[in-house]
Amino acid sequence: MDTVLALNSGSSSVKFGLYATNDLSILARGLIDESANKAEFSAIGPMAQLLMQAPKPQSSGHADHIVWLTETLSNVLGAVSLKAVGHRIVHGGQDFSVPTRIDADVIEKLEALASFAPAHQPHNLAGVCLIARRRPDLPQIACFDTAFHRTIPRLGQLFPIPRVLTDSGLLRYGFHGLSYQHVAETLPELLDAMPKRVLAAHLGNGASICAMQDGRSVATSMGLTALDGLMMGTRSGSVDPGLVLHLIEQRGYSPADVNHLLNTHSGLLGVSELSSDVRVLEASSDPRAQEALELFAYRAAREAGSLIMALQGLDALVFTGGIGEHSVRMRALICDHLSFLGVKLDAGRNAACATLISADNSAIPVLIVAANEELPIARATRELALAS
């Protein structure tokens, strides 16, 4: 069976999806979670059990796990013939707005963008380089989180900074584009047609909102980097630039200190001083945990209001991502803030995490779409790598 592999190499995990090339049916989709003391392997799909039964690597880390995955696909799943690998690449900058076949020149350009996505880009590219060394014959395709947002009008891309900096590429790019692409491709199946004006909220450890018009991104909360916009698990989201200057000039913070503070010790973790995990905070009676959750919801709803202006109205609201899909309370908090729009949840549907969670008399349908960044990667990989 000819297959394509979709890889999403993060800072502490490797998500993967193995798809049959003829119809893109899922054979195995899973996660190698390296955040715990010992890596945890999980997968679903018809070949998942066979894959999970294969001997695991003795050492840990991205390299060993990606090698294990590709070699297991070749050695254990004997009926599988891997034809190409597609990768999630977080930042494509100005040069890359469509899926692209990877070569040395592409890698060099993507490495130059690593400073805009230091927690993601190096890990994305490490997987590319590892496979290139072990399987140089295997076509590899880069699929970009920023690409979906290249349809944003110029005014939505601009920062109010000197033009010379704008012209050098300092623009609002946006992220989570592969997730939003999946939402745009899925909604017509759920609602019989694509709503004209959609807000999609990808809420997880990283969080953002995207405004879509006719299935195309027209505005988004993240900017040049994935630090902008919503409050997140450990990231602050948008803060007053003067706060950064104050920390450096008055409190003696170095740029590295500020980077650490805003990226790894802010957000839900910083406000609660307990955890970045919504599940932990929801189970806590500590008032700091409750304030962190309420602030997360407030910031999300406030940003939603800004994006509704860009859309000039709203026809559907979609939740996706780990928090968006699983946190009953967070969805309710956010929708309560948006009740002035006529948004109403059905408590039973929301508690059951149904696909449609809005009440029958809600002015706007509210849905949950399970995140799936791997399927758009697999589709683009099949089309680009196997057609050439």
Q: Is the dihedral of CA 332, 333, 336, 338 positive or negative?
A: negative
Same domain, 96 and 201: no
Report if residue 175 sits inside a domain: no
Same domain, 298 and 209: yes
Distance CA 23, CA 359 (A): 36
Same domain, 211 and 348: yes
Report if residue 168 sits inside a domain: no
Same domain, 212 and 123: no
CB of 320 closer than 8 Å to CB of 369: yes
Same domain, 129 and 224: no
Same domain, 342 and 208: yes
Report if residue 333 sits inside a domain: yes
Distance CA 299, CA 293 (A): 10
- Cα dihedral 200, 204, 208, 211, rounded to 10, equals 0
Q: At 229, is the secondary structure helix, strand, or coil?
A: coil
Distance between alpha carbon 330 and the CA centroid of its chain, in Å?
18
Average pLDDT of each block of 10 consecutive residues along the chain (388 residues)?
90 87 94 79 91 82 83 75 94 96 96 92 92 92 98 97 97 97 96 95 96 98 97 97 98 97 97 97 98 98 98 98 97 98 98 98 98 96 85
pLDDT computed for residue 50 by the predictor? 87
Report if residue 169 sits inside a domain: no
CATH code at position 206? 3.30.420.40
Pairing of the two strands 316-320 and 197-203: parallel
- Rounded to two decimals, the pTM is 0.95
Per residue in 44-89, pLDDT (tens digit) is: 999 999 888 888 887 777 788 888 888 888 776 667 789 999 999 9
Report if residue 308 sits inside a domain: yes
Which of 347, 234, 222 is closest to 296 using CA atoms? 234
Report if residue 109 sits inside a domain: yes
Same domain, 206 and 135: no
Same domain, 26 and 98: yes
Per residue in 255-301, pLDDT (tens digit) is: 999 999 999 999 999 999 999 999 999 999 999 999 999 999 999 99
Distance CA 215, CA 194 (A): 7
Same domain, 140 and 200: no
Same domain, 205 and 343: yes
- Last residue of a domain, which of 112, 144, 176? 144
- Overall domain count for the chain: 2
pLDDT computed for residue 51 by the predictor? 87
Catalytic residues: 145
- Last residue of a domain, which of 119, 144, 169? 144
Strand order in the sheet with 197-203: 216-220, 207-213, 197-203, 316-320, 366-368
Same domain, 16 and 106: yes
For residue 333, the enclosing domain spans 192-368
Report if residue 157 sits inside a domain: no
* Runs of H (alpha helix) within the chain: 48-53, 62-75, 104-111, 121-134, 154-157, 163-167, 177-191, 241-249, 255-264, 267-272, 278-283, 287-311, 321-326, 328-337, 347-351, 374-385
Distance CA 372, CA 178 (A): 8
pLDDT computed for residue 13 by the predictor? 81
Report if residue 331 sits inside a domain: yes
Same domain, 233 and 322: yes
- Residue 53 CB contacts under 8 Å (≥ 6 apart), including other chains: none
b/e per residue 121-152 (b: at least 16 CB within 10 A): bebbbebbebbbeeeeeebbbbbbbbbbbbeb
